[in-house]
């Protein structure tokens, strides 16, 4: 180190040497990332699944997004499982990156189902609140949502569907 400092101006070589040292730590043939991920245990999964419980409250109107959050949980489960497996077998991070690549590709192909989120109302372009973005399938702002509900109700009324004709068959 002393020798480097003498030959190079202002510690440039020192910082280069440190960078090289950092890079050695990030070697993809190592297990740094896998070890870190495996060390997190089931927490990433728990963090994704806790909001999933909140979906019950919204029932049918949040069915699609509930599935989406399950898909996301499965993706996280796969990646953390691969990481734990690699650490266990003392393999390298490159397989983890491969697994992440494959999972990312599958998520991309299924993106309509995995990420159905919209930041703006699909009818009027108003910014949506978090509840709508994360839970509600219709991606409508409060105004458009209530408008749509009113329209549906009106449509049902004009259709005049006969209500439950439960006539008992009389015996002759
Ligand atoms: Zn709207």
For residue 127, the cross-strand partners are 120
Tell me which residue range forms the domain holding 137: 118-156
**Distance between Cα 38 and ligand 1 center (Å):** 43
Residues 95 and 122 in one domain: no
What's the gap in Å between 138 CA and the centre of ligand 1?
10
Specify burial of residue 170 (Cβ count, 10 A radius: 0-12, 13-18, 19+). exposed
Say if residue 122 is in the same domain as residue 111: no
108 and 122, same domain (yes or no): no
Q: Judge if 104 and 131 occupy the same domain.
A: no
Let me know if residue 167 belongs to a domain: no
Best CA proximity match to 137, nearest among 117, 153, 154, 157: 117
Token couple for 74? 């499965």
* 8 Å CB contact between 65 and 55: yes
| Contacts (Cβ under 8 Å, ≥6 apart) of 61 | 136, 137, 138
Q: Examine the pLDDT at 10 and tell me if it is beyond 50.
A: no
Average pLDDT over residues 95-102: 95
Q: How is residue 136 annotated by DSSP?
A: -
- Do both 45 and 60 map to the same domain? yes
Residue where a domain terminates, one of 85, 100, 116:
116
Q: Are residues 80 and 111 in the same domain?
A: yes
In a domain, 63, yes or no: yes
The rounded distance, in Å, linking the Cα atoms of 102 and 151 is 44
38 and 86 housed in the same domain: yes
Average pLDDT rounded to a whole number, residues 3-22: 45
Domain count, the chain: 2
Per the DSSP assignment, residues forming a β-bridge with 120 are: 127
Any domain includes 8: no
Interatomic CA distance for residues 93 and 100, integer angstroms: 10
User: How confident is the model over 116-170, as pLDDT tens digits?
Assistant: 999 999 999 999 999 999 999 999 999 999 999 999 899 988 876 555 554 454 4
Answer yes or no: do 82 and 135 share one domain.
no
CA–centroid distance, 139 to ligand 1, in Å, is 8
Q: Are residues 90 and 61 in the same domain?
A: yes
pLDDT tens figures, 67-93: 999 899 899 999 999 999 999 999 999
| Whole-number Å distance between alpha carbons of 154 and 140 | 19
Whether residues 46 and 108 share a domain: the answer is yes
Sole residue written with tokens 């949502």: 145
Q: How far is the CA of 146 from the centre of ligand 1 (A)?
A: 10
Residues in the chain: 172
pLDDT in tens, 17-60: 444 445 445 566 789 999 999 888 888 888 888 878 888 889 88
Are 73 and 130 found together in one domain? no
């Amino acid at each position: 180190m002393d020798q480097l400092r003498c030959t190079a101006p202002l510690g440039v070589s020192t910082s280069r040497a440190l960078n090289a040292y950092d890079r050695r730590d990030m070697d993809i043939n190592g297990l740094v990332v896998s070890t870190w991920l495996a060390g997190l245990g089931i927490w990433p999964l728990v963090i994704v699944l806790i909001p999933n419980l909140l979906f019950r409250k919204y029932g049918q109107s949040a069915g699609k997004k509930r599935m989406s959050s399950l898909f996301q949980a499965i993706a996280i489960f796969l990646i953390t499982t691969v990481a734990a497996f690699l650490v266990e077998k003392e393999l390298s991070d490159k397989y983890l990156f491969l697994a992440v690549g494959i999972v990312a590709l599958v998520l991309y192909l299924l993106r309509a189902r995995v990420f159905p989120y919209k930041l703006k109302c699909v009818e009027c372009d108003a910014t949506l609140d978090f509840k709508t973005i994360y839970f509600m399938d219709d991606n409508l702002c409060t105004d458009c949502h209530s408008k749509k509900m009113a329209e549906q109700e009106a449509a049902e009324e004009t259709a005049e569907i006969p209500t439950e004709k439960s006539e008992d068959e009389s015996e002759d």
